[in-house]
Amino acid sequence: MNAPPMWRRALCLVYESLLQLALLMVAGFVFYPVGKLLPVDAARHFQSLFLLLVLGSYFGWCWLKAGQTLAMKTWKIRLVGADGAAVSAKAAALRFFFGLAIYLPLTATAVWAHFQRAAAMPWLAACSAVFLLAWGWPLLDRERQFLHDRLAGTRLINA
């Protein structure tokens, strides 16, 4: 089972990001009436938790049902367990957690840097280094798998 080339994974990530943006916008509209009933600070926290649950549910459902999200189907990439069998719920949850740990800090810090450039720059550099390590990992890995796949016991293969 060969791993998909990096260019396909990168394009899949771009497409996945667009799909996630649309999903989060719809989920935000769904949460809006509920948020109006809560105090502002509580609404922010509950909305963040709700959006995280929506993303987790989306990935979990797609990975467990078919081993692919819509973007992965488009770019002919499938997620399987380390043994090549269907991915388990535990492995899918770990992959989501580790992926979140890699991508979310960079995204949040980039937004912060947009508003407070000087204060965020050291954090942006650190988060960028983690992101580059994650994307450079397949170049060092004997099976060309991502770090979060190694940690979760999953692997990407050509579909």
* pLDDT tens per residue across span 102-124: 887 777 777 777 777 777 778 77
Maximum Cα–Cα distance for the chain, whole Å? 52
80 pLDDT exceeds 90? yes
Phi, psi of 142 (to 5 degrees): -65, -25
Helix axes 117-140, 89-115, angle to 10 degrees: 140
Cα-Cα-Cα-Cα dihedral sign, residues 80, 88, 150, 134 = positive
Residue range 10-36: average pLDDT?
94
pTM higher than the cut 0.95: no
C-beta atoms surrounding 30 within 10 Å: 11
